[in-house]
Amino acid sequence: MALLAQAQAGNAAARDILIARYLPRLQRWATGRLPRWARAVSETQDVVQETVIQTFKRIEAFDARGEGALQAYLRQGVLNRIRDEIRKAQRRPSLATLDPRVAHDGASPLEEAIGREAVDRYERALARMRPEDREAIVARIEMGCSNQEIAAALGKPSANAARMAVERALVRLANEMRKET
């Protein structure tokens, strides 16, 4: 929180630290989100980097709820950007899509793992969650943050409190997803 506030107050060092903190995590995360053929069209990591940098350019205006919110916000920004890239790529077929080895491979690793419908259901339910729940889930499930990190990012008093918040949020998310089926 202090770091985010510093970054928002124009402290470049703080902004730098935040970028260094979130960029690798988001880049790793994004590899699970982009279909393989789309990755051939546009370097995922460049997209992520660009989006993160763009977001940080406007960080002084960001809702100051804390780093948990920032992480969720960055994730949403990257996701939007990736969708954008996919749409773009679909409009103009590239050589990569004509390659028989990759032509069938339109799903992202995540969709391959759990199915497109499930991913969509998960995504939609996540969007309907309370921000604190969403932030906790994104941090733990998608970004692989430790409970200590989540406590720091969400302002929980202890790692144990953060762990419980995540677990309760997961049940709520599952219930929310269930309503769609």
Report the site for another protein in 97-136 (rule: CB under 8 A). 109-110, 113-114, 118-119, 121-122, 127-131, 134
Residue selected from 34, 41, 70, 143 as contacting another protein according to rule CB under 8 A: 143
* Greatest pairwise CA separation for the chain in angstroms: 53
Q: How many residues bind another protein (CB under 8 A)?
A: 84
Closer to another protein at the Cβ: 48 or 89? Answer: 48
Q: In the structure encoding, which two tokens stand for residue 25, read together?
A: 């995590």
CB of 93 to another protein, least distance (A): 16
**Binding map of another protein across residues 18-57, x = CB under 8 A, - = no contact:** -xx--xx--xxxxxx----------xxxx-xxx--xx--x
Residue selected from 90, 93, 116, 167 as contacting another protein according to rule CB under 8 A: 167
CB of 134 to another protein, least distance (A): 8
> With the C-alpha atoms ordered 120, 125, 129, 133, is the resulting torsion angle positive or negative?
negative
Is there a contact between 14 and 6 (Cβ–Cβ < 8 Å)? yes
Q: In the structure encoding, which two tokens stand for residue 122, read together?
A: 């998960």
Say which residues have a Cβ less than 8 Å from residue 41's Cβ, sequence separation at least 6: 85, 88, 89, 94, 96
Is there a contact between 136 and 154 (Cβ–Cβ < 8 Å)? yes
**Using rule CB under 8 A, residue 174 touches another protein:** yes
**Using rule CB under 8 A, residue 96 touches another protein:** no
Residue selected from 83, 94, 98, 116 as contacting another protein according to rule CB under 8 A: 83
Query: Percentage helix, strand, coil, to 5, in the chain?
Result: 80, 0, 20
Closer to another protein at the Cβ: 98 or 120? Answer: 120
**Using rule CB under 8 A, residue 81 touches another protein:** yes
Interior/surface letters 108-120, b for 16+ CB within 10 angstroms, e for the rest: bebbeeeeeeebe
Closer to another protein at the Cβ: 98 or 158? Answer: 158
